[in-house]
Amino acid sequence: MLRPSKKMLFAIEAVLDIAYHAGGEPVQSREITRRQGIPRRYLEQTLQYLVRSDILIGVRGPHGGYRLARERRRISVGEIVRVVRSMEVAEDMFADVPASELGKEVIRPMWGDLQEEVMRRLDAVSIDDLCQRAHRGGLASEAREKMDFNI
């Protein structure tokens, strides 16, 4: 049915990876590639779009990488989806599909309503919500593993 593109899934995974594994330090793209298995050719371009869209910040230097531009509770999945959609070819999904009057007047508007509902739901899900879900699921966080509470 409604199927996200690979780029969209990779973008969400990359932002979630940075939020879940960073621990306040910049995350290098090769670390995201290692953990998530995201092809580097997709990742770098996507990360740059996320930087230009103020979802991530690029940090230069030998210990540079990417970090969240805002608190993870203030970044929604819907924002990330919109960024990726703007990257992908902007075309009318119905442009090449012939339609009857019923299709034009009933089915296509219904499809548009469904997409709006999906976006409202994605806007309600924050990166923090996904981090909490990962934690509840028992997924290890490299940021937590790096913490040392010895004094």
- Identify the CA nearest to 84 among candidates 130, 49, 120: 49
1 within domain boundaries: no
- 84-104 residue pLDDT tens: 988 876 555 555 566 788 888
Q: Could you give the CA distance from residue 143 to residue 66 in angstroms, rounded to a whole number?
A: 14
pLDDT value at residue 104: 84
Residue 41 near residue 17, CB atoms below 8 Å: no
151 within domain boundaries: no
For the cut 90, the answer to whether the pLDDT of residue 47 exceeds it is yes
* Domain count of the fold of the chain: 1
pLDDT value at residue 145: 58
Range of the domain at 74: 6-146
Q: Is 108 exposed, middle or buried (0-12, 13-18, 19+ CB in 10 A)?
A: middle
What CATH code is carried by the domain that includes residue 109?
1.10.10.10
Q: How many CB atoms lie within 10 A of CB 43?
A: 21
